[in-house]
């Protein structure tokens, strides 16, 4: 799919953007354009990844004109740029609306303007029945992407807009495992919000597989969702204490806007959800079921009799699986 193609990643200097860039450079991609605001992050990334096919474009997704120029000649867009830190966004809600909502519409408009072939946006479980502003803005991003496929009814446009949705990437910036590791290494008590809390877990490689498979196999206005296990915060704590030593714990209570469990498909969405084998997929509820079925060459089945897909309803990772995941993430080796 990527042979000879030009790909642009909004938020290309972020945790996901960098990993996706590296993965794309293992293919026969023609060019990868990294689009983001901070020049220092770009300079750092350029010094770490040496590849003539890489281009660095400074730009803000709030600036539609800049996006239109950046997308000239682009075949595939991965839209990863976002504000994502829940407390920061709770304090500055309209800034996240400007980036995550208006910025996403700018990405859509620029894709349509430049007749980009495929655009995939990166969603989160926090967008499902959202409790906080981050989740609400990411829900709107998904809605904008899914609905933008309406333009396919006009001959002039050809962009397929798709979305993926997943839970916490093990070790991504601001997530719980690196925070616990930092606290333990500093000989501090780890701060647990609620011992009963569960979260979906995905490794960066699983996230990359999902994103690339979505770009390859997604049809139009679909949300692809990985089949994941979950972890309990108490198991993460116990596993890290086993690995690094027990520095004690302090329960600080659930923060405003935080859920005890996360959901990847809610009850409403189950009605238009499909099992694709490797992934789940939420189809646009306005699409005819037979058309959805016909659009896939392999057998796909409608999900039935499932209430919802949430982190307290799926299998938990065992402690040994957690241990392996943490060790393989390389997080224990990083200096704090």
Minimal distance, residue 193 CB to ligand NAP, in Å: 16
**175 near ligand NAP (CB under 6 A):** yes
Name which of 144, 146, 151 is nearest 162 in CA terms. Answer: 146
Interface stretch with ligand NAP, choices 165-173, 193-201, 223-231, 252-260 (CB under 6 A): 165-173
Number of residues that bind ligand NAP (CB under 6 A): 31
Quick one: which segment of 66-74, 109-117, 167-175, 323-331 binds ligand NAP (CB under 6 A)? 167-175
- Least gap, CB of 228 to ligand NAP (angstroms): 11
φ/ψ (deg, to 5) at 104: -65, -40
Q: Are 93 and 132 spatial neighbours (Cβ–Cβ below 8 Å)?
A: no
* Shortest CB 133 distance to ligand NAP, Å: 13
User: Contact between 171 and ligand NAP (CB under 6 A)?
Assistant: no
**CB of 83: closest distance to ligand NAP in angstroms?**
6
11 makes contact with ligand NAP (CB under 6 A): yes
Are 21 and 7 in contact by the 8 Å Cβ rule? The answer is no
Give least dist CB 122 to ligand NAP, A.
Answer: 4
In whole angstroms, give the CA distance from residue 206 to residue 210.
Answer: 6
Residues in the chain: 336
Any idea which residue has 């408009």 for tokens? 109
Distances in Å between the Cα of 232 and the Cα atoms of 238, 250, 315 are: 10, 16, 11
Residue numbers annotated as active site: 126
Give the integer Cα–Cα distance in Å for 334 and 249.
Answer: 22
List the interface residues with ligand NAP, window 26-65 (CB under 6 A). Answer: 36-38, 41, 60-62
Structure letter (DSSP) for residue 316? B
CB-based contacts of 175: which residues, under 8 Å, 6+ apart? 168, 169
- Residue number with CB closer to ligand NAP (126 or 237): 126
Q: Contacts with ligand NAP in 112-151 (CB under 6 A)? A: 122, 124, 138
Which parts of this chain interact with ligand NAP (CB under 6 A)?
A: 10-17, 36-38, 41, 60-62, 80-84, 99, 103, 122, 124, 138, 166, 168-169, 172-173, 175
């Amino acid at each position: 799919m990527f042979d000879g193609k030009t790909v642009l990643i909004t938020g290309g200097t972020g945790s996901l953007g960098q990993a996706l860039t590296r993965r794309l450079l293992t293919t026969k991609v023609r060019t990868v354009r990294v689009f983001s605001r901070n020049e220092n992050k770009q300079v750092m990334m350029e010094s770490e990844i040496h590849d003539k096919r890489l281009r660095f474009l400074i730009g803000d997704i709030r600036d539609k004109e800049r996006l239109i120029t950046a997308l000239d000649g682009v075949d595939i867009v991965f839209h990863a740029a976002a504000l994502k830190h829940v407390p920061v966004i709770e304090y500055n809600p309209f800034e996240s609306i400007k980036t995550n909502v208006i910025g996403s519409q700018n990405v859509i408009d620029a894709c349509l303007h430049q007749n980009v072939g495929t655009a995939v946006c990166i969603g989160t479980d926090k967008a499902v029945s959202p409790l906080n502003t981050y989740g609400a803005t990411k829900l709107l991003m998904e809605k904008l992407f899914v609905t933008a496929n309406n333009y396919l009814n006009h001959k002039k446009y050809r962009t397929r807009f798709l979305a993926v949705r997943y839970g916490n990437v093990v070790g991504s910036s601001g997530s719980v495992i690196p925070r616990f590791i930092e606290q333990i290494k500093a000989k501090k008590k780890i701060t647990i919000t609620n011992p009963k809390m569960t979260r979906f877990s995905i490794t960066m490689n699983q996230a990359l597989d999902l994103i690339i498979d979505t770009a390859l196999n997604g049809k139009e206005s679909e949300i692809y969702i990985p089949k994941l296990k979950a972890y309990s915060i108490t198991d993460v704590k116990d596993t890290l204490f086993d690995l690094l030593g027990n520095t004690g714990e302090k329960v600080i209570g659930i923060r405003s806007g935080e859920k005890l469990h996360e959901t990847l498909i809610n009850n409403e969405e189950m009605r238009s959800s499909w099992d694709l084998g490797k992934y789940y997929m939420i189809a646009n509820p306005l699409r005819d079921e037979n058309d959805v079925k016909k659009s896939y060459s392999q057998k796909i089945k409608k999900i039935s009799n499932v209430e919802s897909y949430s982190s307290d309803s799926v299998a938990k990772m065992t402690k040994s699986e957690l241990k392996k995941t943490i060790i393989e993430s390389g997080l224990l080796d990083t200096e704090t």
